[in-house]
Amino acid sequence: MGLWHGANWTFVLWGTLHGAALVIVSLWRRHGPRLPSSLGWALTAAFVLLTCVIFRAGSMEAAMNIYRGLADLPDFGQVVRAAPIIAAALCAFLLPASQDIVDRLTERPRGAIAAGLGVLAVIILVQLGDRDAYEFVYFQF
C-alpha cells in the first residue's frame, strides 16, 4: 500500500488510493458501460497526476495546501511564467511516445535533427530550472 516508499501516512494513503482505483477499474470493466478510450485515458492521467501530490507531499496538510493552490485560478503573469511548463506538458501529452520518436529518428541517421533536438532539450532544461537543487524523493529516507 505504498509503505515501502517510507514510513509516512501520505504513502499509505497514496497506495490505498491506487489499490482502490485498480479495484474500481476491474469492477467497471466487468459491470460498467464501455467508455471512450480518450475519456479513460483522461481519467487515468488526472487520477495519477492528482495522487502524485499525496505521494510527494511531506504531510497531508501540505498536500491539502497544494490542492487548494491548484483550485485557485492563476493570474495572467503566472500563466506567462509557466509557458515553458505548459508547452512541455502539451508535448508530453500530444506528441508520440519518446520511444516511437526515437524509432523514427534512428531509421536512418540524421545528424542535424539529433543536434537540433539536443539543443532544444538543453534550452528546455535551462528554462525549467530555477537553479535550486531539488533532491530526489528517495534521498529523504
Of residues 106 and 53, the one with the higher pLDDT is: 53
Do 29 and 40 sit in the same domain of this protein? yes
Of residues 136 and 114, the one with the higher pLDDT is: 114
Surface-to-core class of residue 11, CB atoms within 10 Å of its CB (0-12 exposed, 13-18 middle, 19+ buried)? middle
Do 26 and 54 sit in the same domain of this protein? yes
- Cell 515553458 identifies what position? 84
Do 104 and 115 sit in the same domain of this protein? yes
Amino acid identity at 63: A
Query: How many domains, the chain?
Result: 2
Whole-model pTM? 0.57
Residues annotated as part of the active site: 5
Domain residues for the domain of 110 are 74-141
C-alpha cell at 77: 503573469
The model's pLDDT over 9-26, given as tens digits with 9 standing for 90+, comes to 888 898 899 999 999 999
For the chain, how far is it from start to end, CA to CA, in angstroms?
17
